[in-house]
Structure 1
Amino acid sequence: MKAARIIEPEKPLVISDVDTPEPKDSEVLVKVKAVGVCHSDLHLWEGGYDTGDGFMKVTDRGVKFPVIPGHEIVGTITEVGGSVQGFSVGDNVLVYPWIGCGNCPACRVGNDNLCDAPRSLGVFQNGGYAEYVLVPHFKFLAKVSGIDLDAAASLACSGLTAYTAIKKANANSQHSIVIFGAGGLGLMGVQIARAITSANIICVDIDDAKLQTAKELGADSVVNSKDADATQKIISLCGGKGADSVIDFVNAPPTVKMGLAVLRKRGNLILVGLFGGSIDLSLVTVPLKAITIQGAYTGSYNDMLELLGLAKRGVINPIISKRYSLSEANAALEDLKARKILGRAVINP
């Protein structure tokens, strides 16, 4: 099969022929119809993350090169192992890529995405930038019907991450939610917030075109963070007391700083993005304001099923703005890095 592999960080992906996997036991072979182009793929390609006080290599987390990236995978089953139940050749499926060890405390309660020793597809084992992908167990599949397959791909990561973050925000309050970032994650977050909360939704970004899209998708108000009075605007839009919940889909020093500034007493700051960096934090304000700072990382398999249900009912509509062939994998990552993609892009192997 054809596959695009990262041979070493910061070098072009190499597109070549590799052996097509053969499924056995509980394994399933899926012909990839679409795979999302995600910022996590960029971090893998770049070799790591900016931690604020250094560079954390993905190899230190257990990544081994070469690897086929791509974790937002949707496709059609072409072969099944002998122990597979409930799935057949020809089924269209969405792949849950956040595969855990199966034994740690998180995995035992169904939170494979928070596993102590993750085995995620497209990160720690070969993913979907290829014509086929081997899924280690059929329990990580969900049947897809009544929704565009390209659009379904993003539900496994960007949509799932946004869904988890909105649920955490909604648990704190339904009055006001401020969303930082109007990229693929943020725009999905706006739609999900509109669908499952009754909150006043304010979206913040530096791009007026993206903010207009956020407004069209359900944001009650939008604010350009480059405006000199952006912080006060956000506080005013939240009734003058500040935001009950802030979701930062960027998670860069400027957005986190503004997020903390607009957070009201008892507020909840949810950090999602992996932009990186660090900030100075006034420690005394955390207890005095009784604020909560927490992270949100993808979501559980059951969360993905709930999200897929929303998509099937047409409540949310993932935006696919660009499509690439497998031979254009490098161009897809370069376009994402250059912020040329509105919503989500997919590769169609």
Structure 2
Amino acid sequence: MTTIHAIVFEQENTVGFGTFTLPAMKPDQMLVKTRYTFVSSGTETRVLGGHYGAAGKFPLIPGYAAVGEVVEMGEDVKGYRVGDYLSYNSQNGPAGIHSQWGGQASFHLVGMGDKAIVLPKGADPLDYVASPVAAISLRGVMAAQPQPHECAVVIGQGAIGAFSAGFLASKGCRVIAVDLSESRLQRSYSYGVHACVQAADPDVAERILAYCDGGANIVVEASGSKQGAALAHKLIRRTPNTYRDPNTYYVNPMSGLVNHWPRIVYQANYLDRLSLDPRLDLNSEGVLLLMPGDRGLEDRLNAVEAIRSRLIDPRHYIDRVVSYREAPLSYEQLRLQPDQVFSVVFDWSESGEGLSMNR
């Protein structure tokens, strides 16, 4: 049995710690010592607030983005090695406490069905700790099939929006970033965005459209707010019905439009119900609405490769690396001071002290 430390959401907006015991390792499982965990700040702070099914489940262990080292393997494990560094999300938490999703802990049991990814040889695990979050953004960007020189607007510059902006810029798009936080907007320039627009501007839509030719080809809505969604609907490129001369109305042939629709990618979850009147809100003959629900193994592998090949620089997305013991303060800052704290990585290198592993 393995005794572990874990960050615990004790009750709504209250963060503490707990010591737990993992069940005995099964033949098809690996024991992984956590090195770093990345806080998915939007998702985890909403869980901390009792959303996403967390109400009634406190206390619970949060988190789903972890990297760690394999320290022991069951006899039926194939393809992995002791000493491998993995990106993983274990589904095998300790008994006696809810997990949502249990990643913020010092050790994990990772099964063959958990689809852990072996990090590239010689990799610094810190570079890859955010890859599960980056994979969510990458899936949405790939769904939109961005083309070089297209105009893309990303509303919201939290982690999901920031990675979306970086991936779109790497595809050759002209990217406009939108957010309420000036610090997040300034950070987005490091991802290669073309321009930044303050979401609080009274003419925010007109300001964004000043950077576009008739609207955006792609709008990524990553703010998770009704205001962000409403803004996204105003920004997409309109179908150009034109007058060839003052007296002749002309409608473009549909055959020339169907493969060139503007795209809206909803990359956030919403606490409030959204409403959309296509005729009034979109004002276009065709718009692709894309709603990637999660990320799969291929998306995670692609995110790891994007980091390995430096398609994106992972350090641009890591704001603070602190001991996991600073979790209460870190979550409070992420929840109450999002304009000052962009992202947090917990370092678990000291978490093995005083632990007994008796199997």
* Matches of 2:188 and 2:81, distance apart in 1: 39
1:267, distance to aligned residue in structure 2 (A): 2.2
Q: 1:138 to 1:86 in 2, by over 3 A?
A: farther
Give 1:215's aligned residue.
Answer: 189
CA distance in 1, matches of 2:148, 2:293: 20
On the 8 A contact 1:3/1:15 being kept in 2, the answer is: yes
The aligned counterpart of 1:245 is 218
Distance 1:123 1:307 in 2: 29
CA separation of 1:269 and 1:123: change in aligned 2, threshold 3 A: farther
Give the gaps of 5 or more residues in structure 2: 92-96, 239-260, 349-359
Q: Which moved more, 1:272-281 or 1:327-336?
A: 272-281
Q: Highest Rg: 1 or 2?
A: 2
Q: Is residue 147–residue 173 contact of structure 2 (8 Å, CA) maintained in 1? A: no
Q: In the alignment, is the contact (CA less than 8 A) between 2:35 and 2:68 conserved in 1? A: yes
| Bigger shift: residues 285-294 or 16-25 | 285-294
Tell me if 1:159 matches 2:159: no
Q: What is the SS of the residue equivalent to 2:21?
A: coil
1:281 matched to 2:254: no
Q: RMSD in angstroms over aligned alpha carbons?
A: 2.5
Equivalences for 1:95-244 in 2 at 5 Å? 95-96=88-89, 127-137=102-112, 140-145=115-120, 146-156=122-132, 158-170=133-145, 175-195=150-170, 197-239=171-213, 241-244=214-217
Letter in 1 for 2:310: G
Does residue 4 (structure 1) correspond to residue 7 (structure 2)? The answer is yes
Deviation, 1:297, is 3.0
Change (3 A) 1:170 1:126: closer
User: In structure 1, what is the Cα distance between the partners aligned to 2:19 and 2:339?
Assistant: 29
Contact 1:71 1:123 (8 Å CA) reproduced: no
Does the alignment pair 1:328 with 2:330? no
Counterpart residue type for residue 317 of structure 1? D
How many Å apart are 1:180 and its aligned residue? 0.9
Contact 1:21–1:133 (CA<8 Å) still a contact in 2?
no
Secondary structure of the residue aligned to 1:6 is strand
Total equivalences in the alignment: 312
Amino acid at match of 1:272: Q
Query: Where does 1:19-30 land on structure 2 (aligned, <5 Å)?
Result: 19-30=21-32
For the 8 Å contact 2:15–2:331, the answer to whether it is kept is no
Q: CA deviation at 1:11?
A: 5.2
Given that 1:169 and 1:245 are in contact with CA atoms closer than 8 Å, whether structure 2 keeps it comes out as yes
Deviation at 1:344, TM superposition (A): 2.4
User: Does structure 2 retain, via aligned residues, the 8 Å contact 1:30–1:78?
Assistant: yes
Q: Is the 8 A contact 1:130 1:326 kept in 2?
A: no
- For the 8 Å contact 1:160–1:304, the answer to whether it is kept is yes
CA contact (8 A) 1:172 1:268 kept: no
336-345 or 293-302, which deviates more: 336-345
Corresponding residue SS for 1:18: strand
SS at match of 1:237: coil
> Which position in structure 2 is the counterpart of 1:305?
301
Q: 1:273 to 1:152 in 2, by over 3 A?
A: same
* Identity score, percent: 21
Q: Find out whether 1:67 has 2:60 as its counterpart.
A: yes
CA distance in 2, matches of 1:171, 1:203: 16
Instruction: Write the deviation string for residues 113-159 of structure 1: whole angstroms up to 9, x where unpaired.
Output: xxxxxxxxx98565222110122326511111344322311111x21
Question: Given the two structures, how large is their TM-score scaled by the length of structure 2?
Answer: 0.79
The amino acid that maps onto 1:201 is: V
User: Residue type of the partner of 1:242?
Assistant: G
Provide closer, same or farther for how the CA distance between residues 281 and 162 of structure 1 changes in structure 2, counting only shifts above 3 A: same
More displaced stretch, 201-210 vs 146-155: 146-155
User: What corresponds to 2:79 in structure 1?
Assistant: 86
SS in 2 for 1:293: strand
2:228 to 255, 261, 278: 255
Letter of the aligned partner of 2:45 in structure 1? L
